[in-house]
Amino acid sequence: MSDTAPVYQFQAHHLWQGAQWQTDAAFGVDSTGRIIASAGESPEYLDGWVLPGMPNLHSHAFQRAMAGLAERRGPGDDSFWTWRETMYGFAERIDPDTLQAIAAQLYVEMLKAGYTQVCEFHYLHHQPDGSPYAQPEAMSLALIEAAREAGIALTLLPVLYMSGGFDGRALSPRQRRFGNHVDGYLQLLGNLRKHESHDVRVGVALHSLRAIPEHAWRGVMEHDALKNGPIHIHIAEQIGEVQDCLATRGARPVEWLLDHAPVDHRWCLVHATHLTESETAQLAHRGAIAGLCPTTEANLGDGLFPLARYIDAGGVLGIGSDSHISISPVEELRWLEYGQRLSTRHRNVAARHAGESVGETLWRAALKGGALAADLPIGSLTPAQRADFIVLDSESPLLAARDARSAMDSFLFAGNTPLVRHVMAGGRWVVRDFHHRDEARIASRYRAAMQRLA
């Protein structure tokens, strides 16, 4: 029980609690923004389907502003690697003020779509020429301030980025603003951890195996800064990455990582697209989170994660919007399932047993994995958890005559009409009747920032 009096008292017609729907369930929210069990007298009635907000476990905020700018075919075969060159050129033009404007707009869009937390995999540390800002953490602080403006919970993951490939070559001119050395990185991490709060968690991001030389790896792993909190890493996203790792380190990326790092439930392996059966089983056994970003993985031509094998092995997963060509947990989960259907030519792949709901299976799984990746008390509407929840539009035709057996599947698979009507994040209403509390001002500033970039 909370020792503080409830600020809000609710009675929900349908509440997703304990991984299933509860009818006419009462709960409250205290002054710290946490769920309490008893709602007390005269609760506000929530006439709709009330679900925990979804964590977004992988975001590069600045890439929101370049969505749609890399869709013209180049002179050769377009791939992740050609897209990356476009991204580098765009990243050179982002400063702290621009980043805050972009991120705040992005976070508003996330909240309106049903995300109530974001893990920001952040590597734009320095000025374009690689020199530090007067305040070295200026770009990171822009993201913290953007999250505060929007009202979204943030797990900030400053990135260690040291080399330009598995061969240990120096960073290219376009990568210079990402780069750091171990001591400088640890100092940045320490400075940022002073900004932690109920709404902000700071973890560790290791960009990828190709970005950290093998000789530096053990020193990084043994440092006290990595002993607690979440650790995220890009891994096995592209076939070329797998081939380079085999050539230089004699092992596949996930195989090498599992052999050289204490991978456990604190680790989020982003993408992990190209896995052998053995890697899939070992990853599941370790309890690490597979951080899947289906719309970005499709946009970049990455490939398909072995979802059925991973679920059967008891693996933990979550979803992220990554490059933000789509900002919708519905679309991420829908295309996670649809990719499997296209590949296997079967339906209802994520539901592994007769009678199971695909929508419920995916939402439940992504809540669990996202909460672990964020390292915050989120993902369920139970006492002491953050009051992060969404209320679906009970008046929408897409939910007409739906019951507890079909509501989640209809939310995810019945169409593209926005169904998230209200959003509470950290005990504060941030979206009411489809509108964010500060969306007009934030959108106006974003448009001005885009004009400057253009």
Element (H, E) at 244: helix 239-249
| b/e sequence 357-380, b meaning 16+ C-beta within 10 Å | bbbbbbbbbbbbbbbbbbbbbbbb
Six token digits for residue 425 = 């994040």
Per the annotation, the verdict on 388 as an active-site residue is: no
Distant-in-sequence, close-in-space partners of 441: CB < 8 Å, separation ≥ 6: none
- Whole-angstrom Cα distance, residue 369 to residue 430? 24
Task: Kindly state the DSSP code that residue 211 receives in the 8-state scheme.
Answer: G
Instruction: Compute φ and ψ for 9, nearest 5 degrees.
Output: -130, 130
Contacts of 172 (CB under 8 A, 6+ apart): 88, 164
Q: Please, which residues have CB within 8 angstroms of residue 177's CB and are 6 or more apart in sequence?
A: 91, 92, 124, 125, 126, 127, 128, 129, 130
Question: Going by DSSP bridges, is the β-strand pair 54-59/44-52 parallel, antiparallel, or unpaired?
Answer: unpaired
Give 20's strand partners.
17
Report the 10 Å Cβ neighbour count for 320.
Answer: 31
Read off the tokens for 383.
């006492």
* 322 carries an active-site annotation: yes
DSSP state of 164: S
* 225 phi/psi in degrees, rounded to 5: -60, -20
* Amino acid, res. 143: L
**Do residues 445 and 149 lie in contact, with contact meaning Cβ atoms separated by under 8 Å?**
no
Which candidate in 271, 274, 324, 436 is catalytic? 271
Say how far apart CA 287 and CA 292 lie, in whole Å.
15
The residue written with tokens 């953490």 in the block is 137
- Listed in sequence order, the residues at least 6 apart from 73 whose beta carbon sits closer than 8 Å to its beta carbon are none
Residues near 416 by Cβ (< 8 Å), separated by ≥ 6?
Answer: none
d(CA 369, CA 367): 6
- Please say whether the beta carbons of 55 and 371 come within 8 A: yes
Catalytic residue among 30, 302, 322, 409: 322
Catalytic residues: 271, 322
